[in-house]
Amino acid sequence: MVRVILRRLIQLVVTLIALTTLVFFWLRSLPGGPVDALLGERATPQTRELLTRALGYDQPIWVQYGRFLKNVVTGNFGNSIRTGEPVTDVISRAFPATVELSVAAIIIAVGLGVPLGYLAARHRGRLLDNTTIIVTLVGISIPIFFLGYLLKDWLTQGLHIFPPSGRISTGMDNTDVTGFFVLDGLLTRELDASADALWHLVLPALTLATIPLAIIIRITRASVLDVLDEDYIRTADAKGLRNPTIRKRHVLRNALLPVVTIIGLQTGALLAGAVLTEKVYNWGGLGTLITDSIGGSRDYPVLQALILLAAAVFVVVNLVVDLSYAIIDPRVRVR
């Protein structure tokens, strides 16, 4: 197991170095580049030359790359072009909002997707199975922004069940400790604020969970059906093992590997920033920050940090998925 962890950690470091290299050269190949983005309409040949020298862009490329790697390791991404604040401060304010929303969405998707997929496979060809297939097709096909506006119009403006937007009600007293509003309310014993933040979280999380939920249901169903057709399942049944034992030890555990892969990929994608969902519900997370940075300001320092953060999230999630393989399937540890 230790050998597996060390091998995956080495692969993680190599992958991150490759990604930082791609980001470094990508930023310098963009039209105008960071210098024009910083100067904007005030750019003149003289000011451009001065800023190029100040930022070190006139030095050899390997010197620039070494400085870039040092800044990445130390977390020094400079200041935002839009706000003038340190990039780390800008991202640290938005990141908890996206994590809170993504974790809630993936909990909903996994908590409903795995059991429904398993039940659909166990009742193959029956009403439950056919209904699940139709519902998942609709869930995958419907655009997320359309579903968001539909649910928002129906459940907030029509039935007035959920709040329409934002992370917490205006005027609600909430002490910001971690940036996770639900958790902050619990830590400071402001239970009303925690409940209000949770109520604001439900509808965006349901919207964001739709596509991952549909995918997890379909993958779980297909994986369980494959396992049910294996010879060792028929052998276990013929030996007289009880159905709960067969389902737990042989069916579900062997069917989990592809499901865990999908869960990892969906988690990484959600944490990287759910742009459309955050826009619909005015959530103020990384998705909103990405669209604001890509707009007219061309906030390259923030974009650079967001790209590296998204890449790091994907790599770390894949590491966790690989390690979970070794826990679920002992044969992976031997390979």
d(CA 85, CA 305): 14
Q: In this predicted model, what pLDDT tens digit does every residue of 122-164 receive, in sequence order?
A: 888 898 889 999 989 988 888 888 888 898 888 888 788 888 8
What mean pLDDT is predicted for residues 199-218?
Answer: 92
What mean pLDDT is predicted for residues 299-322?
Answer: 83
What mean pLDDT is predicted for residues 14-39?
Answer: 75
Cα separations (Å) of 282 from 25, 109, 275?
33, 22, 10
CATH T-level assignment (fold) for domain 95-334: MetI-like fold (1.10.3720)
Q: What is the pTM of this model?
A: 0.84
d(CA 147, CA 139): 9
What mean pLDDT is predicted for residues 266-284?
Answer: 82
d(CA 185, CA 75): 29
Q: Sorting pLDDT into bands at 50, 70 and 90, what band is 333?
A: low
Domain-by-domain residue ranges, the chain? 2-73, 95-334
Q: Which of 100-114, 132-146, 167-181, 221-235 has the highest mean pLDDT?
A: 100-114
Q: Sorting pLDDT into bands at 50, 70 and 90, what band is 166?
A: confident
Mean pLDDT of all residues belonging to the chain:
82
Q: Sorting pLDDT into bands at 50, 70 and 90, what band is 332?
A: low
d(CA 96, CA 181): 9
Residue 123 vs residue 35, higher pLDDT? 123
On whether the CB atoms of residues 48 and 275 are closer than 8 A, the answer is no
Can you name the residues that pair with 86 across neighbouring β-strands? 79
Q: Sorting pLDDT into bands at 50, 70 and 90, what band is 206?
A: very high
Three-state secondary-structure class, residue 170: coil
pLDDT at residue 42 in the model: 65
**pLDDT > 60? residue 335:** no
d(CA 53, CA 34): 13
pLDDT at residue 104 in the model: 93
**pLDDT > 70? residue 12:** yes
Nearest residue to 280 (alpha-carbon basis) of 206, 195, 178: 206
Number of residues that this document lists for the chain: 335
The C-alpha angle with vertex 115 and arms to 203 and 136, in degrees rounded to 5, equals 60
